Amino acid sequence: MKRNICLFLAACVALLNSCTTTGPVGLFGKRSPHEQYGQKLSNAGLNETALGRSWFKAAEASLNNPLQITIPHKEAGYFPADKPRASALRFEVKRGERITIDLQKKPLTNFNIYIDLWEVKDSKNKKLLAYADTGGNAFSHEVEDSGFYIIRLQPELLAAGEFTLTISKGPSLAFPVKGGKIGSLWGADRDGGLRSHEGIDIFAPKRTPALAAADGTISRVTTNQLGGKVIFMRPKGKNYSLYYAHLDEQLASAGETVKTGDTIGLVGNTGNAISTAPHLHLGIYTTGGAIDPLAFVNPVTKPAPDIKALLTNLGKYMRTNKPVVLKNGTQKSSEAIASLKSGTLVEVSSASQNVYKAILPDGSYGFLPASSLNQLNNPIKRIHLSAEKQLFDKPQSSAPRISVLTPTTRVNVLASYNEFYYVEAEEERGWITQE
């Protein structure tokens, strides 16, 4: 009977997964592919099944308990078909940066992973900002508020496969001076400390072209005491203005529409920069005043670190080879989730740099050094049972029983968790209470 129910659910899920997502429109616009798939599950009644409930629970739990990373970040992972799961990563970015998410998956067909980007408003509130279209593997998003963001990955039900996720960041605007070098940053002292620098200075030879950093409109062309010959430009669709100062010559006029890379002026040292080397002072002004332009135009980007942890361990059970701390992030300062004894069983979910994302038997998860885990090829020890033992499918006395091991049964202890051994006996694997 149980097998028939499982086959029926698998057939329902297969039918749902084969359907094309058409994009129903809700009150506030188009639903994300993840939301559309969830609605299909509910419409089919699968949200009332254990399998469906697990899928929705995993989606919510991952957002409430994301792991902490720094970007750029690259990881490879595995989603099993028999365990509905989701993975969420939390990171910090600055206003003006553009984050790019790229996902490569295997197999290429019949394995859809939904990718969502969320903004963390506070500990309880999160806002969905962007997502990859159905069948898409990449998208980018310009950050409008500095703070924390979450990327969530979740496959469809009963879909197994591997993935490689890369999260990178770069400037949202083009660099405004070809060959120029940033030499003075936001907040530097000016006039002997009487004021601070409200922009960045980009040094280049006199009369080097100053370029439009985005498509937009020239709003003002004027002169002032500090900036000398200046230009104000409003990027298309943005709520801020770019300020070009110390120009030797202005080559654009108010009201003119420009494209990214158009020459709008020539670098100079007019205004209060008369005694300094030629440079472009770039400022950004919002209704709330000046903001730091560096993240908007910084040409220095870092590649995501290579994955050095062995990918052959993805999806496998392993055990700790020493006492180790499971952490909620990849940094040394990350918070501890649990202190694990040597020999503790974990499931490897993903790999990044020199760490694995490990899942404990109770469902909690975090990062462990890859070097702290060994495969289960050889038992920790061998024991002969002195009495009858129940073999459970989880390290809980209330868990379903796989079988009953008779006295004198030879048992290979592969790992442990709390007061249970993970064992292999009579070609079966499961959990027994420690003697």
**Tens digits of residue pLDDT in 392-404:** 999 999 999 999 9
Other Cβ atoms closer than 10 A to 162: 17
C-beta of residue 245 within 8 angstroms of C-beta of residue 281: yes
Q: What is the pTM of this model?
A: 0.90
Q: What is the mean pLDDT of the chain?
A: 91
C-beta of residue 281 within 8 angstroms of C-beta of residue 204: no
Q: What is the pLDDT of residue 7?
A: 44
Q: What is the pLDDT of residue 189?
A: 65
Q: Quick check: bond before 72 cis, omega within 30?
A: yes
**Tens digits of residue pLDDT in 221-256:** 999 999 999 999 999 999 999 999 999 999 999 999
Q: Which residues contact 81 (CB under 8 A, 6 or more apart)?
A: 158, 159, 160
Q: What is the pLDDT of residue 25?
A: 38
DSSP classification of residue 10: H
Query: Cα–Cα distance between 308 and 368 in angstroms, integer?
Result: 13
Q: What is the pLDDT of residue 194?
A: 65
* CA atoms within a 13 Å half-sphere pointing along the CA-CB vector of 23: 7
DSSP structure string for 31-76: PPHHHHHHHHHHHTTGGGSHHHHHHHHHHHHHHHSPEE--SSEEEE
DSSP classification of residue 312: G
**Tens digits of residue pLDDT in 58-102:** 999 999 999 999 999 999 999 999 999 999 999 999 999 999 999
| Residue 191 confidence (pLDDT) above 90 | no
Maximal CA-CA distance, the chain: 94
Q: What is the pLDDT of residue 199?
A: 93
Beta partners for residue 327, in sequence order: 336, 367
